[in-house]
Amino acid sequence: MAWFFEKRKEISREQIMQLVAQSAQEGMKRICDNPKKVLLLPPDITRMHSGSGWITEEFYKIFSKSAEVYVMPTLGQTTYPPYGSPKQTDVRKYSRRKNSET
């Protein structure tokens, strides 16, 4: 269930920054009010058009005031085959971690 949402025809950058701040505050309220470490997982450069870079930067500014912040771009495109592939039915085949129970 979403913590909150904003539905408009267009959302300005300023409004997005306010939503980022609201999201950070809500996360601290629900998960940890004083995080010591934060991991941000933005999409890689293939999603550059989404604005995730400056959104990540805003989260970084908020959390770095009181926490150690790490940024690790997700690279899912090279880990798994395209969605809808029949091979994807058994996700264990694509796990990089060896697990003797599988």
CB-based contacts of 7-14 (< 8 A; 24+ apart in sequence): 13/51, 13/54
Rounded to whole angstroms, the Cα distance separating 78 from 4 reads 32
Per-residue model confidence (pLDDT) at position 60: 97
| pTM as predicted | 0.69
Question: What pLDDT does 46 receive?
Answer: 76
Q: Which two tokens stand for residue 23?
A: 């999201």
Summarised one tens digit per residue, pLDDT across range 37-87 is 999 999 877 777 888 889 999 999 999 999 999 999 887 655 555 555 555
